[in-house]
Amino acid sequence: MIEPFPIEISRAVMRIAFFGIVLLACSNAAPAEEMKIPFQLDDNLVHFSTTLNGHLANAVLDSGTGAVLVSRDAAHRFDLKEGQAIGVAAGGGATTQQLFPIVIDSLAIGPLHLVQVSAVTMDVGYLSQSAGFPIDVVVGSPVFATGPVLIDYFARQVTFFGADRAPSCASVSIPIEIVNNVPVVTVTLKSDTSAPPATLHLIVDLGTRHFAATIGGKFLDTGAGRALWARGKPQQVGTGSGGSEQGVAVNVDRLTIGDHALSNVQIALTRQVSAFEKGFADGTLGVPVWKDGTITFDYPNRNVCLNLRPNHP
């Protein structure tokens, strides 16, 4: 993601949570027709090439990022002028990373072009190392704000639609709130067959790669949260802007998102994500939920659509 909300990228291995900095891209018109780009799925990250001020760069698409993030290394290579530090990344890990404002003249993602984009730079060394490839750009809310965006994991293709051209949803569309430029959905979680369902507010996060959800904050202080933690397996559950994030991995009886009820899914619990501890969200919803099908983000109409393949729970 990035900074207008928890701007974070990557949950199970890349996390950036920023707060209190409002970053806005200039107004960019929605595409007049469908635009498609291919992507590589690298450890569940949507990875593609982009052109930043005419320079070819490695990018990832992240709905959990509320703006655009550029690595400081790439900013220096491409002669982007940084302003004075405007805050620190409130992600996981022990190291504090400062944020520096920049303006990108032109950002091209296949046929989609954004201009005069306000962004931030940050040292993303931990994140690139955990991803297994150098990350130059994390692309967040500016590309989602103009119209629906469909990510097809089976076909390895992203489709950008005009604001009034949302694709049909084979299931019931799920309402979202846009909180500081990132999508937040309400879900219910049953930790075991006898537990009452808990209502949680989760960021729908393309960067949460290895768990159906990552949860922290107040839920961990509840009886269900404490019981889950006690039976979880301690391990590293992610890598944040400041290094590794520790927590536990545990299976839960049921996770319900809209009309999708997923049984016996693995989630992560952690105390090392500031976004959760400060109450901005209870956690994130991650790629394992939809990786067998498609997910469509429709910010203009405030919903997401999960089209899951038959072999999915």
- How far, in Å, CA of 206 to CA of 218, rounded? 23
pTM score > 0.95 for this model?
no
| Low-confidence stretches of the chain (pLDDT beneath 70) | 1-32, 90-94, 310-313
State the amino acid at position 107 in one-letter form.
L
What is the pLDDT, as a whole number, of residue 91? 63
* The CATH number of domain 35-160, selected from 2.40.70.10, 3.40.50.300, 3.30.530.20, 3.30.750.24: 2.40.70.10
What are residue 80's DSSP bridge partners?
A: none
- How far, in Å, CA of 309 to CA of 196, rounded? 28
Contact 185, 174 (CB under 8 A): yes
DSSP character at residue 252: E
Report the phi/psi class of residue 170: left, alpha or beta, with left for phi > 0 and alpha for psi in -120 to 50.
alpha
Which residues of the chain are in CATH 2.40.70.10 domains? 35-160, 174-307
What is the pLDDT, as a whole number, of residue 8? 40
Q: If you write DSSP's letter for every residue of 48-93 in order, what string do you get?
A: EEEEETTEEEEEEE-TT-SSEEEEHHHHHHTTPPP-S--EEE--SB
What is the pLDDT, as a whole number, of residue 215? 97
What is the pLDDT, as a whole number, of residue 28? 56
- How far, in Å, CA of 187 to CA of 200, rounded? 5
State the amino acid at position 5 in one-letter form.
F
- How far, in Å, CA of 241 to CA of 83, rounded? 20
Any idea how long the chain is?
Answer: 313
User: 159: helix, coil or strand?
Assistant: strand
Place of tokens 């107040």: 218
Domain 174-307 is found in CATH 3.40.605.10: no
What is the pLDDT, as a whole number, of residue 12? 31
DSSP character at residue 110: T
Beta-strand relationship, 112-122 and 174-175? unpaired
